[in-house]
Amino acid sequence: MKVSEWRERLEVEKCYDLVAELFDRIEKSKLNAFITLNKDEALRKAEEFDRGKLKGKLAGIPIAVKDNISTKGLRTTCASKMLANYIPPFDAHVVERLKREGAIIIGKTNMDEFAMGTTTETSYFGVVRNPHDLERVAGGSSGGSGACLHDESVLALGSDTGGSIRCPASFCGVFGLKPTYGLVSRYGLIPYANSLEQIGPMANCVEDLALLLEVIAGKDERDSTNAGVEFKFEPEDKRFRIGIVKEMNASDDVMKVFEEVVEVIKGRHEVVEVSLSSLKYALPAYYIIAMSEASSNLARYDGVRYGYALEKLDTWTRYFSKVRAEGFGEEVKRRIMLGTYALSAGYYGKYYLKALRVRTLVKNDFQRAFKHCDILIAPTMPTPAFKIGEIQDPLTMYKMDVNTVPVNLAGIPALSMPMGFVKGLPVGLQVMGNYFEENKILSFALELEREVV
């Protein structure tokens, strides 16, 4: 449901009744999109709206929040046994802004453990199922935020480290935006890879995506990476020069849909092919950087300062090892070990520093492309959603991120929007822009939405 449709219902129905209906649907759902519900508080906020006491841009609008974003007094687990009972004492910056604008937070959405995954299969709380086919994955790591937009929430927040918003948006047939690095404060986002990740909006249309971005973007002195830039959507109605990224490919079925969309785009805009030669190195560079940062960030979970705790053991080393062995899932442990190896003496220069150099090459390639193009496009994911359990090999799974990770290495904004179906399953179009040009890519997507979606 779109924000406009929810507001139309609010004109004739009570917000309390609509929110109660939403929770009833969630509690009967087979999607497993939520880890923790905020039912009592959400219904209390709905009553406030009905009494005219809830104001703001999102007053009375339900929103789901990914479970790695801190919510004061509401359990925040990162979908991990390590934080299964953690209740934060503070709100993330984005949550503060949501509350200030009258949004109703209905719960915390399921995700890959510590945002490490492409399918939400690594969650301690079970896999999220795709609303278009319950036997298939919803994408990851923001799988719950993508799946719940089917009929369990109006808006959602996700986080994107290497495609974690755009992947579930593509697989679930919704809209998701990874903003420019620094546009949205990361204060209160439990970190996986600090230099790559961004909180971003997910919704059922471009206008709702833009509305939510307006609310969450802006200055926050608590985040040293924050650019302090506000965002206001002002649609641009003009002819753009669109670049098709040669190196971002997909399966034959997905490419057929993509080519049909390109033909639609050619009716209004100039379309050219663009080559970014460094992208062949982007995927390994991304995983070296992300895993290295993860090994550092997750060192704090020792059972004393943070996380899962055990009965006292005879030595600190045994206690620390047992806490982490039991508290983390297999994928998280794999990434910690690989990241620790990449940062170790003798290998730091061989792997991590080389990955940083590749990152610079990727940034430079994108900047050269944007000197000649306003916007770049490509398929979001190489395939539609695959079956739960279908991909067991970690390397094969990592390759699914091949089209999304370059955006995070460069720090540029990108959104995924539905572009059609393959055998009844949605596939997404990735729309990329230069730094802080969210207005441009949203304007293009808004126009295309009217033609394609």
Burial 123-142, CB ≥16 within 10 A → b, else e: bbbebbbbbbbeebbbbbbb
Taking residues 65-81, what's their average pLDDT? 98
Question: pLDDT by residue (tens digit) across 108-143?
Answer: 999 999 999 999 999 999 999 999 999 999 999 999
Q: Give the DSSP letter of residue 179.
A: P
Q: What is the pLDDT of residue 305?
A: 79
Catalytic (active site) residue 164: yes
> Is the pLDDT at 310 greater than 90, yes or no?
no
Q: What is the pLDDT of residue 229?
A: 95
Q: How far apart are CA 443 and CA 449, in angstroms?
A: 10
Question: pLDDT by residue (tens digit) across 134-165?
Answer: 999 999 999 999 999 999 999 999 999 999 99
Task: Say if CB 76 and CB 90 are below 8 A apart.
Answer: no
Task: Say if CB 80 and CB 114 are below 8 A apart.
Answer: yes
Burial 361-393, CB ≥16 within 10 A → b, else e: bbbebbeebbeebbbbbbbbbbbbbbebeebee
Helix, strand counts (H, E) of the chain: 15, 13
User: Is the bond preceding 292 in cis, omega lying within 30 degrees of 0?
Assistant: no
Neighbours of 300 (CB within 10 A): 11
Question: pLDDT by residue (tens digit) across 389-434?
Answer: 999 999 999 999 999 999 999 999 999 999 999 999 999 999 999 9
Catalytic (active site) residue 443: no
Q: What is the pLDDT of residue 171?
A: 98
Global pTM reads: 0.97
Which amino acid, residue 292?
S
> Is the pLDDT at 303 greater than 90, yes or no?
no
Residue whose pair of structure tokens reads 């510590």 in the numeric block: 114
Q: How far apart are CA 94 and CA 155, in angstroms?
A: 13
66, 108, 178, 440: the catalytic one is: 66
- Long-range pairs of 18-25 with CB within 8 A, sequence gap ≥ 24: 18/46, 19/43, 19/46, 19/62, 19/104, 19/106, 20/46, 22/62, 22/106, 22/152, 22/153, 23/106, 25/151, 25/152
Neighbours of 149 (CB within 10 A): 29
70, 80, 123, 141: the catalytic one is: 141
70, 123, 159, 164: the catalytic one is: 164
Question: pLDDT by residue (tens digit) across 243-266?
Answer: 999 999 999 999 999 999 999 999
Catalytic (active site) residue 123: no
> Is the pLDDT at 198 greater than 90, yes or no?
yes
The pLDDT mean for the chain works out to 97
Instruction: Give the DSSP H/E element, type plus range, for residue 410.
Output: helix 405-410
> Is the pLDDT at 312 greater than 80, yes or no?
no
